[in-house]
């Protein structure tokens, strides 16, 4: 009797701990559009700074870093940005072709244009 109880308890504990990770997995794989903001924060912000305004320290390390404002993006289409993400630019803006999927590059390219309207 006691033994049977124990087995049920072990089963319950096992399913209770497995359930949240199954739910999280389902949520992640059903996400349709990649999150441009999260991608920016993970892959771009360390150089470009929040809102695309690099810190003075970063500018010292990478003087060619642009400061993004509305005028900057008036001169660049979304295709221009996608080309840079595909092929890189200069010495320090590396290609993201092997780090981000085309959908992710598109989401982050759209997102950065909203930072300085």
Give the shortest CB-97-to-ligand HEC separation in angstroms.
11
**Closer by beta carbon to ligand HEC, 7 or else 91:** 91
* Element at 41 (helix H, strand E): helix 36-43
Q: Which of residues 22-51 bind ligand HEC (CB under 6 A)?
A: 43-44, 46-48
- Cα angle for residues 48, 49, 55 (degrees, 5° grid): 100
Q: Quickly list DSSP for 54-76.
A: --HHHHHH-TTPPPP-HHHHHT-
For residue 107, give every residue at least 6 positions away whose Cβ sits within 8 Å of its Cβ, in sequence order, or none: 33, 34, 35, 36, 39
User: Pick from 37, 53, 59, 76: which binds ligand HEC (CB under 6 A)?
Assistant: 76
Among residue numbers 78 through 117, which ones bind ligand HEC (CB under 6 A)? 80-81, 84-85, 89-90, 92-93, 96, 108, 112
Interface residues with ligand HEC (CB under 6 A) are 43-44, 46-48, 62, 64-66, 76, 80-81, 84-85, 89-90, 92-93, 96, 108, 112
């Amino acid at each position: 009797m006691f033994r049977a109880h124990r087995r049920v308890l072990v089963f319950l504990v096992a399913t209770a701990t497995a359930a949240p990770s199954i739910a999280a997995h389902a949520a992640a794989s059903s996400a349709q559009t990649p999150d441009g903001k999260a991608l920016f924060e993970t892959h771009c912000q360390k150089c470009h700074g929040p809102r695309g305004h690099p810190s003075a320290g970063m500018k010292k390390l990478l003087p060619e870093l642009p400061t993004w404002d509305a005028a900057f993006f008036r001169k660049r289409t979304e295709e221009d940005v996608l080309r840079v993400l595909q092929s890189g630019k200069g010495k320090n803006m590396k290609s993201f072709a092997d780090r981000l999927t085309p959908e992710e590059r598109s989401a982050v390219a759209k997102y950065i244009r909203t930072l300085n309207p």
